[in-house]
Amino acid sequence: MKAENIRHYLRSFTKLPHLAGTEQNLLLAKQIQGQWKEFGLDSAELVHYDVLLSYPNETQPNYISVIDDQGNEIFNTSLFEPPPEGYENVTDILPPYNAFSAQGVPEGDLVYVNYGRTEDFFKLEREMGINCTGRIVIARYGKIFRGNKVKNAILSGAQGIILYSDPADYCAPGVDPYPNSWNLPGGGAQRGNVLNLNGTGDPLTPGYPAKEYTFRYKVNEGVGIPKIPVHPIGYHDAEVLLRAMGGPAAPDSSWKGSLNVSYNIGPGFADSSSTRKVRMHVHTNNKITRIYNVIGILRGAVEPDRYIILGGHRDSWVFGGIDPTTGAAVLQEVVRSFGKMKMEGWRPKRTIIFASWDAEEFGLLGSTEWAEENARVLQARAVAYINTDSSIEGNYTLRVDCTPLLYRLVYNLTKEILSPDEGYENKTLYESWLEKDPATENNSYPRINKLGSGSDFEAYFQRLGIASGRVRYTKNRKTDKFSSYPVYHTVYETFELVEKFYDPTFKKQLTIAQLRGKLVYELADSQIIPFDCRDYGEALKGYSNRIYKLAKKHEEQLKSYKVSFDPLFSAVVNFSKAAAEFHSRLERVDKKDAVAVRIMNDQLMLLERAFIDPLGLPGRKFYRHVIFAPSSHNKYAGETFPGIYDAMFDIESKAEQHEAWEEVKRQISIAAFTVQAAAETLGEVA
């Protein structure tokens, strides 16, 4: 694989906007499909779905006003981002908006709610006595998924929410704004969907693929669509709104961004502006629209009915300079190199499925609909899913999120790849990664994160229980305090951003292509699937200790309601023992006995599946993994033993204490049963 090729694909795929549901994104799908066929895949097909998408109204723009006591608009936020140099004449750039916002023109007093997290609303309501009912709230982007901010605002009674990017979260100190460097300019605003889908995919066809024949709910019954208007603005406009705020001061420094304002909470404006209010104008339309995945297949020579999936999205908010195209360009180069090997006579043992997903930005729709349509086949045959969204979100070191089954494989493969980092010439990727980001629990290994959500692995891991992983280059988590990368989901995410500032040599992206490619190669071609169950046992030990430690904060209640974690601890011990015994049998298996190998490979493949509860988590039936789920308070983050965690969250404020602790006991029993059942899948088959 070559850095120059990745550069070429990134240049080609980012010339024009390619939002899901647009002609340009279909043309890009056809271009990718054509290239995959040329590269030598056995097949490359377009697979379409008709899903609910959301676009601004062409004739009625979205904006926020400050109004005087006569209702006159005395300040309006900007209607578009100033386009970057060289892109002034590009058409089809949609202005910043929050997809799936409700329509409306609410007016009210403004309340500043910090990041809009659960704990921020607790602080306002419980400690400061500030009521958001009937008010318009303004929250800064960052820390958590924007959909959770909107959900929290709705629960607080707000009638609208404004989201803005504060320089404290979207500007690195001492760095110029784009185009001179990689910081967010004051006129830039982050697009993004504000759904709370909890894994459903298309809001109108939860659980089933959005095909021509599918029953659809009415648009106003769609899953997870917010009932209040939501609109994003840049920090220049936000400063005008925040400067006028009255009410109490920010409770502490964690509520202050770095704009030149006091960060008063409100409600409403101070002094001479006290009769002024804020009016939101949101006219975004939801519309059923056709989307297209590209599905490419490289048939396995020995076990064609065992699948390794490498998938990432193609749709972007504007040009997609980083998100997703640094991932799509890597996917293209990986497909090219596998195609070349096939043309030279090689085939993998197992089938490899390559996927260019559509409509990820609108709620992981393309990947989830395909998972729904093919669920029966996938749960029987899929070995692993590797995600290929953005390959860089920074350029400091490697970031890995995956199932514990993949820890050892990832560690081994990073020892075979040279580090692209400055000052680490002739050292391995493993060495630079370990030095820059050691694990908290054990600093002799590099950190690996839990899978949450926010990208296309969600349906495969959280719903179907297919072992999954994602790798990319990231920022320095210790020193870089800004959220994501500054120009995330803005018009300034261009090819030039990557070429000038993030990865001029394209070596970081090449390194990620090598790692993603090697992961797929090993999973598809090793005689024994390269999973290690013992690492799952170790992880479960850590997770069960952590949840118990959390519960111990309620020592009295644990005693009085007779809550015991012993069954869970016992199941975890049994799992670790079963894993150790399984691996010692695996070392002794007769490699010439194809059936004996296949039996053990099936036990490896189906272990992740064993953690699936067909009933799903309480109130989130499409999140079915008992060990991992997206956090109920931040979709991006992973939570362990989520059923127990959510049952205990804020339990002290629940009116019915007995009932609340009974639910904790129920969740512990589900977790204990599931871990024990998973352990039993690893035993001798007869």
Q: Mind telling me the catalytic residues?
A: 360, 564, 602, 625
- 429-436 vs 407-414: helix axis angle to the nearest 10? 110
The pairing of strands 285-298 and 43-55 is antiparallel
CA distances (Å), origin 58, targets 62, 318, 480, 534, 658: 10, 16, 38, 56, 54
Q: How many residues does the chain have?
A: 686
Q: What is the DSSP string of 155-224?
A: HTT-SEEEEE--HHHH--TT-PBTTTSSBPPTT----EE----TT-SSTTSTTS---TT-----GGG-TT
First CA to last CA across the chain, in angstroms?
45
The CB-side HSE value for 417 (13 A sphere, CA atoms) comes to 28
- 325-343 vs 23-39: helix axis angle to the nearest 10? 30
- 82-96 exposure pattern, b = at least 16 Cβ within 10 A, e = fewer: ebbeebeeeeebbbb
Burial of 12 (0-12, 13-18, 19+ CB in 10 A): middle
CA pair distance 37, 631, nearest whole angstrom: 40
CA pair distance 196, 26, nearest whole angstrom: 27
CA pair distance 559, 95, nearest whole angstrom: 56
CA pair distance 75, 270, nearest whole angstrom: 16
CA distances (Å), origin 229, targets 126, 142, 163, 279: 25, 19, 11, 11
CA angle 655, 659, 662 (to 5 degrees): 145
CB of 646 within 8 A of CB of 616?
no
435 phi/psi in degrees, rounded to 5: -70, -40
CB of 347 within 8 A of CB of 298?
yes
CA angle 586, 587, 589 (to 5 degrees): 60
Other beta carbons within 10 angstroms of residue 187's beta carbon come to 20
CA angle 81, 58, 485 (to 5 degrees): 30
Furthest-apart CA pair in the chain: how many Å?
A: 86
494: left (phi over 0), alpha (psi -120 to 50) or beta: beta
CA pair distance 398, 414, nearest whole angstrom: 10
CA distances (Å), origin 145, targets 272, 324, 406, 635: 36, 17, 26, 6
The amino acid sitting at 248 is P
CA pair distance 686, 683, nearest whole angstrom: 8
**Token match 């329509």: residue?**
103
Give the tokens for residue 147: 């959909």
Q: Would you give the DSSP letter of residue 249?
A: P
Report which of 637, 632, 635 is spatially closest to residue 648, judged by C-alpha positions.
Answer: 632
CA pair distance 398, 417, nearest whole angstrom: 12
| Element containing residue 413 per DSSP (H, E) | helix 407-414
